[in-house]
Amino acid sequence: MDTHTAMQTFAKVVELGSFAAAADKMEQARSVVTRQIAYLEQKYGVRLLNRTTRKLSMTDAGRAFYDRVRPILAEVTDLELSLQAEGQRPSGRLRVSAPVSFGILHLGPAIAEYLLRYPDVIIDLDLSDRVVDLVEDGFDVAVRIGPLLDSSLVARPLAPQQLRVCAAPAYLARHGTPTTPEDLKQHRCLHYAYASTGNEWHFEKDGVTHLVRVNAALRANNGDVLRTASLAGHGVILQPEFLVGDDIRAGRLVTLLADYAHTPISMYAIYPHRRFLSPKVRSFIEHLEARFGNPAPAAPGRRASPRRSR
């Protein structure tokens, strides 16, 4: 008798709670299911299930066996599906969630490149800084920038994003240039509402951390809104390089407190599970890795907080 098939049958009996239900689900005779469980018990010399006319329960050995068998069966299924997918061209609808500013500035061009390579994929892109539940809202992949929270989702690191403190020359001409983090308390600051540190801006110099609670002249949950206000001379912003780098290089914004460091924020591609990925999902994630950063192993059981995207 095939041990792998018997293991599948055992797992199905446990999950459905009865021999009859497992037999119906697997479209087998109940006698076949019974023989497969008996085969496993005889093969390993232990009783796996306690059976009465009214109740089915696992023995301690059965529970330990099930806990070990379940991930093995999942891995075998993944392997089979992966082999079947080899050579298949990515196709079908791919639902992607991303923060607004990054999506407009950088993800849009990356998607255009991807579609040139994989024209059979139809991308449904949702740009939003709102809280997104990938499973409930039916997204295949999301790009998130910021801290991660523990979760059953899988996070694939893409690239760190350096934070910059900056302001427009016109603002500095009117209000002066801060030379220390503490000087920011006397300035108009434009604050990202979903920052993981609240309204505290963190700086570090010579091993000393400086925490400054800023007075926000404007709070917004979108970094591009803050950038626009800063360009108009309304205050100082703390935003990632991808959003303000071009403005700094063009002189539209001036970098401040350059000798103080900030902890970079990370960018991730997240997806609902680590099991078999369809060709469209796998190819899209690989494209993001090639486009935005060095490929890295998936971070198990972690997820980027949707509230902290830009």
Q: What's the pLDDT tens digit per position in 138-152?
A: 889 999 887 666 566
Find the range with the poorest average confidence among 3-7, 78-82, 165-169: 78-82
Q: Evaluate if residue 87 carries a pLDDT over 90.
A: no
* pLDDT of 32 strictly over 90: yes
Q: Mean pLDDT highest for which of 2-6, 86-90, 190-194, 249-253? A: 249-253
What pLDDT, in 10s, does the model give residues 49-62?
Answer: 988 777 888 999 99
pLDDT over 90 for what percent of the chain? Answer: 46
What mean pLDDT do residues 72-76 have?
Answer: 83
**Which pLDDT band, with edges at 50, 70 and 90, does 232 fall under?**
very high
Give all strands of the β-sheet with 265-271 in edge-to-edge order: 121-127, 92-98, 141-145, 265-271, 154-161
> Average of pLDDT values for 10-25?
91
Please tell me the least confidently modeled range out of 122-136, 208-222, 240-254. 122-136
Model pLDDT, residue 275: 59
pLDDT tier at 210, thresholds 50, 70, 90: confident
Encoding tokens for residue 62? 């059965």
Alpha helices by DSSP H, listed for the chain, are 3-16, 19-26, 30-44, 60-85, 100-102, 108-117, 134-137, 169-175, 223-231, 241-250, 279-292
Least confident of 179-188, 193-202, 292-301: 292-301
The pLDDT value given to residue 82: 66
The rounded percent of the chain whose pLDDT value lies above 70 is 88
Taking alpha carbons only, the member of 152, 155, 150, 124 closest to residue 137 is: 124
**Residue 283 near residue 113, CB atoms below 8 Å:** no
Q: Average pLDDT in the 266-291 region?
A: 84
Within 8 A by CB and 6+ apart from 133, the residues are 306
Please tell me the predicted confidence (pLDDT) of residue 29: 92
pTM of the model: 0.59
| pLDDT at 307 (0 to 100) | 38
Q: How many CB atoms lie within 10 A of CB 209?
A: 11
Q: Is the pLDDT of residue 176 over 70?
A: yes
Determine whether 10 is exposed, middle or buried from the number of CB atoms within 10 Å of its CB (0-12, 13-18, 19+). buried
Rounded Cα gap, residues 151 and 272, in angstroms: 10
